[in-house]
Amino acid sequence: MSSPVSDPSPKRAGIVGVSGYSGMELARILASHPHFSLELVTSDKWAGKRLGDRLAVAVPAADLTCFTHEQGQAHLGEVDVVFLCTPAEVSVDLAPRVLAAGARVVDLSGGFRLAADQYPQWYGFTHPAPALLAEAVYSMPEATGNADKLRTARLVSNPGCYPTASVLAVLPLLRAGFMEADSVIIDAKSGTTGAGRKASEEMSFSEVADDIRPYRVLRHQHQPEIDRALGMSGAPHVRVTFVPHLLPVRRGILATAYGRLRHGTGGSDPVGGVRKALADFAEERPFVHVVAAEEVRLQAAVGTNRVVLGASADAKLGSVVTFAAIDNLVKGAAGQAVQNANLMFGFSETAGLLRLAGAMP
């Protein structure tokens, strides 16, 4: 956890795409942040509307008028940091313009998460700014540990929701040597907000309610990001099979990861061993909470910037299972983006995030 800066000066923030789910969550967090002042919001959908008429946010952010995306570009130089809550193909076009205007960027899309040669396969376009892509700092604070790079970064790539839950589920056990790296299976389930706010038949209530289904099997764009993030976090050469599922809930991700218990680890108490590995990982990581495996649940994470971890193991079976629960819109998007922005500007990593509260039951 980083130390807070004494008497930090407020930084002006802007959100491009405030009417999307991640943008809305980001506006709520920034509106009451002690060190950021929300000064610019754009949305073609909400253009000309007062932000407070669309979202329950605190004044003075509530009094902001939403610009169109085009109008907002004339004001990019008036803020210190811009959060891009836009599709990947939009972010890769906008990021250079924001930087040219003198602001720093936190991109919540997949526009700067992979190597350039991976974009045609996983995102369906050739990356138009490979030099800027190479400069971007990908940061999952609990895993990549690159806070020093963030202090000077112009462009930070915020991780995806599934990679955040998946990487944090398995990384502690891979680092501690409990889980074999050659065959890790991640079964992850997400609420419907993970698909964004676009209207579609498959995401309508009648199609989603009372059902659960896998989607984009073995072709989801977060597969290579999981691989890359693990490599950047000290767990290279891990073979991961990742399958996402859609839950009939609004928000939250539960990632269940299965692996082989490394031979000779755990001794007579493998369950205690894996729990200790998680507890050791949680030290100095204020948003990581460790519970018993069967206590990991969405309600323990939704509405917060927490990642809730649990694990178990069986020496006779040679198996280890680990779990992570997060809010896909907070820890999986807006909350982690603010966490990264805090580190960029030298604020406490937890600023503006500790008071976020969920509701149980």
Give yes or no for residue 8 having a pLDDT over 80: no
Task: Domain 162-328: give its CATH superfamily.
Answer: Dihydrodipicolinate Reductase; domain 2 (3.30.360.10)
pLDDT, one tens digit per residue, over 310-337 is 999 999 999 999 999 999 999 999 999 9
Give yes or no for residue 6 having a pLDDT over 50: no
Name the β-bridge partners of 261.
179
pLDDT, one tens digit per residue, over 221-269 is 999 999 999 999 999 899 999 999 999 999 999 999 999 999 777 667 8
Other CB atoms within 10 A of residue 239 CB: 11
**Catalytic site residue from 55, 92, 161, 313:** 161
User: For residue 7, what pLDDT is reported?
Assistant: 46
Q: What is the mean pLDDT of residues 39-51?
A: 97
Q: Are 22 and 30 in contact (CB under 8 A)?
A: no
Domain ranges of the chain: 11-135, 162-328
* One fold for 11-135 and 162-328: no
Q: What is the pTM of this model?
A: 0.94
User: For residue 194, what pLDDT is reported?
Assistant: 75
Half-sphere exposure of 133 (CA within 13 A, CB side): 21
User: For residue 216, what pLDDT is reported?
Assistant: 86
Q: What is the mean pLDDT of residues 262-278?
A: 85
pLDDT, one tens digit per residue, over 141-179 is 999 999 999 999 999 999 999 999 999 999 999 999 999
Beta-carbon contacts of residue 42 (< 8 Å; ≥ 6 apart): 14, 15, 16, 17, 18, 66, 67, 68, 69, 71, 72
Residue 85: active-site member: no
Fold of 11-135: Rossmann fold (3.40.50)
Q: Are 301 and 355 in contact (CB under 8 A)?
A: no
